[in-house]
Amino acid sequence: MPIERLGSLSWRCALVALGLLLAGAAGAAQPALLVGTAWYPEQWPQSRWPKDLALMQAAHLDVVRVGEFAWSTMEPREGEYDFAWLDRAIAAAARHHIYVVIGTPTAAPPAWLTSKYPDTLRVAEDGTRAEHGNRQQFSFSSPRYRELARQLVTRLAVRYGHNPDVIGWQIDNELGPPSFDAETRRQFHAWLQRKYGNIASLNRHWTTAYWSQTYDSFDEVPMHSQDENPGLLLDFRHFVTDTWTSYVANQVTALRAYADPRQFITTNTTYWGNQFDQHILSRELDMAAWDEYVPDGHFVWLDQAVQQDLVRGYKNRDFWVMETQPAFVNWWPVNRALPPYAMRELAWQAVGHGANAVLYWQWRSALNGQEQYHGTLLGADGTPVPAYGVVREIAAQMARAAAAIAGTSPRSAVAMLQSYDSRWAIDFQRQQADFRVVKEFDAFYAPLERYAQSVDVISPDTPLTGYRLVVAPALNVLTAAEARHLADYVRAGGHLVLGPRSGMKDAYDALWPQRQPGPLTSLLGGRVEQYYALDSPVPLAGVLGSGQASIWAEALSVRDPAAKVLMRYGQSGQSSDGNGWLDGKPAVISRAVGKGSITYIGAWLDPALMQNVMDDSLRAAHVTPLVAGVSANVEVCERVGAGKRVWILINHGDSTHTIRLPSPAAPLLAGDDTARTASVTLAPHSIHVLEAPLQ
Ligand code: GAL
């Protein structure tokens, strides 16, 4: 269909949609909490669909995601579109009260496209051009690919943008690898030119006099993702972020031109993915979504909780778990199954941290294709496998709780700052191979989450008003603007804690010409005299207890009488255990600033000591737990809004615990949602969801 006709068509669709808008999924009102699955109708005969959908309905599933790899079915030949099957699939789902999210199929271009336009293929850093037969084989910067994608996505938007059963769009699938082809290099050079204006500025910020790297023109700049000048490496990541962002924006624009505003637009991201800055890319989207996997099958609740909070922080609002595993995956060395109780805990934890939907990947395995061994809800024979029963139970319970969840979200008094620039900068030059930024982040997160029971994970430029405590574990890149932002927060009465390696680099990944924490040194009233990579632990002790530092330790100094030393290395006469440079030197210092404070922790602390230090910061900031007196294996989540509080209590452990709630609440899962209780007994691995009015 010629593009100029799309406008009038959308008009007609709009009129039709008006009548249907309130009657999605065959008349049902969309629940506030949805459970669903990834369904690939194009892989199965249409005669099979009613059976699949009836089984989904019997499992209380509310939503299917379809289409995200179906380009060759939607456009079998260039310019020849076939959406009739998708029309039927959506209508069939609606007959079973199942909503649809359409994935734009651009993660898997058809063979005709890549054969006819080989320039759209991604080139790896070693120069190898991708071939057909896998997915993500396209170049993210290719103008031709974007144009082909735009044409297809526009047609999808025109056709389904007003469909009452289509509630949202997922753009592409797990955006990831950049391309190193000639066009990308040209765009990188143009990007650098826009950023720096003239080559002298680039040379200055990257200190290219080093090793004769001086460039005479932007065209001379190489394009690498590792083993390069740190300034170049950080700029390459920024360029990749901007390129993926414009890749997404291309499709968002196509969708928004024709789709109802009620249809959300998202993309699904990978766990702890760091190919690009998710905060920046998420600005294009209405909602964040992620694919939650526990590939080794061992669910560690804090490891997953932090990722839920990370994703919530992409847009500082509720999100979706767009994919999660029915028991096991197929891409780990040993694809152990999550036990049934862990599947339940994982799903409810997601909701507790702000997810409004949990979708299982996938419904039924294609009979052939690369993922035959992945966990599913149906077997190859088309009948339920054991995971189906667990998902049915989860979905039934979520259906009971959905009305209470409506209008609620997690709230936190504590924020952790997650900076992609810092993460990248440390990864470019670890200095201690075991200094894994995510691991260090987790080491700070665990005691904060255990005590406060709610932590926001946000980017360093997010407004901080309302947070009592802000913790930045390794804010290695600290721009001048971020430093001002953090200093303002402290001066306004906030409590800021910086972890090791903070405040070392500027926005260009160049060293600040003052010691750490760079532009926050005078506010801190102290500084890092020297940093040390450790290959064995070093003792440290002080008013917050005693313990060990490992992996990384910085010797601090106090330069302002108002700054206090809270911990020192080798204080207890064990200096021979130290590295010789750290003995007796300050390891943790803090300075009160009006009603606020700034604290610098110079070492990677052992877990017990980290708990002490974080407890101290939490107390100083007057943070209180949501529910007091809870044992370490019980996770407390709270969603607040619309005049109510919903508590989601999850016992991840093997023993029974009884906890007292701050106010009487109605249990929602037990079958009686009217009898209020202020005390809950949690059997091992049990989940309780309770609702109380907001007082
Ligand atoms: C995801 C991907 C899905 C499927 C799944 C298997 O990363 O988005 O398409 O491959 O992994 O675990």
Nearest CA to ligand 1 atom 5: 361
Q: What is the mean pLDDT of residues 547-553?
A: 96
Q: What is the mean pLDDT of residues 182-197?
A: 98
3-state secondary structure string across 586-630: EEEEEEEECCEEEEEECEEECHHHHHHHHHHHHHHCCCCCCCCCC
User: 432-453 pLDDT, tens per residue?
Assistant: 999 999 999 999 999 999 999 9
Confidence grade of residue 176 (pLDDT, cut at 50, 70, 90): confident
User: 638-667 pLDDT, tens per residue?
Assistant: 999 999 999 999 999 999 999 999 999 999
- pLDDT over 60 (residue 209): yes
- pLDDT over 50 (residue 12): no
Q: What is the mean pLDDT of residues 617-629?
A: 97
Backbone phi, psi, residue 103, to 5°: -90, 130
Nearest CA to ligand 1 atom 12: 329
User: 476-511 pLDDT, tens per residue?
Assistant: 999 999 999 999 999 999 999 999 999 999 999 999
Whole-angstrom CA distances from 406 to 352, 596, 646 are 13, 36, 10
Nearest CA to ligand 1 atom 9: 173
- pLDDT over 80 (residue 1): no
Q: What is the mean pLDDT of residues 463-481?
A: 98
- pLDDT over 60 (residue 167): yes
> Which listed residue (174, 440, 449, 638) is catalytic?
174
User: 321-350 pLDDT, tens per residue?
Assistant: 999 999 999 999 999 999 999 999 999 999
Q: What is the mean pLDDT of residues 509-515?
A: 97
pLDDT score for 3: 32
Instruction: Please list every protein residue whose CB sits less than 6 Å from any atom of ligand 1.
Output: 173-174, 291, 293, 323, 329, 361, 371, 374
Q: What is the mean pLDDT of residues 111-140?
A: 96
| pLDDT, the chain, mean | 94
Residue of 71, 104, 363, 371 with the most ligand 1 atoms within 8 Å of its CB, for mutation = 371
Q: Tokens 């020192």 correspond to what residue?
A: 568
pLDDT score for 45: 98
- pLDDT over 70 (residue 281): yes
Cα–Cα distance for residue pair 244/249, rounded to 1 Å? 8
Backbone phi, psi, residue 43, to 5°: -90, 0
CA–centroid distance, residue 159 to ligand 1 (Å): 27
**In the annotation, is 482 catalytic?**
no
Whole-angstrom CA distances from 185 to 229, 235, 416, 606 are 17, 13, 35, 44
Whole-angstrom CA distances from 455 to 236, 241, 289 are 31, 26, 18
pLDDT score for 330: 97
What three-state secondary structure class fits 437? helix
Confidence grade of residue 587 (pLDDT, cut at 50, 70, 90): very high
- pLDDT over 50 (residue 549): yes
The bridge status of strand 355-360 relative to strand 34-38 is: parallel
The model's pTM is 0.95
> Which listed residue (68, 323, 554, 635) is catalytic?
323
Q: What is the mean pLDDT of residues 141-167?
A: 98
Nearest CA to ligand 1 atom 4: 361
Pick the atom of ligand 1 nearest to 329's CA.
12
Query: Are residues 388 and 378 in contact, defined by beta-carbon separation less than 8 angstroms?
Result: yes
User: 340-380 pLDDT, tens per residue?
Assistant: 999 999 999 999 999 999 999 999 999 999 999 999 999 99
pLDDT score for 219: 98
**In the annotation, is 323 catalytic?**
yes
pLDDT score for 28: 78
CA–centroid distance, residue 223 to ligand 1 (Å): 29
